[in-house]
Amino acid sequence: MRHQGLAGFPLSFAAPLLLTVREVAALLRVSTRTVYTLCDQGRLAHVRVMNAIRVDPAALVTLAQAPSKSRNARGVTISTPACSPRARKRRSPVTT
C-alpha cells in the first residue's frame, strides 16, 4: 500500500491526534501569538502540514517539564512588558 505513512510518521500519529495552534493556545491559556513564538524559538515541537502548524499533545508535556530560568516556584513563567518609566510609576505594586 502506498500511503503507509505521512512524512515519516505512522498514520496513527496523523491528523486526529494533532492539535491546532488555537487548541494549544486554549489549553495553555495563552494567545495564539505566544504559541507561534514558542514554535519559532524551538521550545514547542511541531510539524507543518502544508502551511498549518500542528502540535502533538506530548510536546505540551515536554514543554511543561522543560527547565526555564524565568520560572517562579509554581512553574509559571513571569514576563514583564517593556514600558516607559512613567507607566511603571502608575502600576500598582505586586503583592504575593
Q: Distance between CA 84 and CA 33 in Å, rounded?
A: 23
Would you say residue 2 has pLDDT above 50?
no
Domains of the chain plus CATH, in order, are: 9-66 (3.90.105)
Would you say residue 26 has pLDDT above 50?
yes
pLDDT digits (tens, 9 = 90+) for 74-89: 444 545 455 555 555 5
Mean pLDDT (the chain, rounded): 74
Q: Are 19 and 35 in contact (CB under 8 A)?
A: no
Would you say residue 71 has pLDDT above 90?
no
Strand partners, 72: none
